[in-house]
Amino acid sequence: MRLRFWRRRRALVCRDAVALMAAYLDDALPTSDRTRLEEHLDGCPHCSEYLAQLRVVIDASGQVTPADLDDDTLDEFVDLYRRWRSG
């Protein structure tokens, strides 16, 4: 009997799924990995929650605003600009 090697892709375990998330969030996964990850996420509430929490972190970072610029600092820069332009 001839041996047949059936190359079947192994389903992802959670550790592998988490390892793929960084590239997934950057939309940088090859299609095959992306499909495997999405199949895993469909059936794994823990990894789905973990990915959702990473997205919360990304959204929270996007909401971090810089400090307001005070008027004194702005005035100093206007003075500097005039000196730089005249020098």
Partner 1 sequence: MVVATTGHPLDVRCLAVADDRDLVARLQAGDESAFVELVRTYQPRLQRLAESVVSSRSVAEEVVQDTWLAVVRGVERFEGRSTFKTWLFHILLNRARSAVGREHRAPPLSSEDVSERFDANGAWATPPVPWAEQAEDRLVAQHLAERVRELLPELPAAQREVLLLRDIEGVSAPDVCELLGVSDGNQRVLLHRARVHLRQKLDLEMHS
Within a 10 A sphere around the Cβ of 17, how many other Cβ atoms? 23
Rounded Cα–Cα distance for residues 33 and 12 (Å):
9
Is residue 77 near partner 1 by the rule CB under 8 A?
yes
Within a 10 A sphere around the Cβ of 36, how many other Cβ atoms? 19
Binding mask 2-41 for partner 1 (x = CB under 8 A): -----------xxxx-xx-xxxxxxxx---------x--x
Q: Which is nearer to partner 1, 2 or 65 (CB)?
A: 65
Residue from 1, 3, 64, 72 touching partner 1 (CB under 8 A): that is: 64
> 49-80 burial, b for 16+ CB within 10 Å, e for fewer?
ebbeeeeeeeeeeeeeeeeeeeeeeeeeeeee
Residue from 31, 32, 61, 86 touching partner 1 (CB under 8 A): that is: 61
Interface ranges with partner 1 (CB under 8 A): 13-16, 18-19, 21-28, 38, 41, 45-47, 49-50, 52-64, 66-69, 73-74, 77-78, 80-82, 84-85
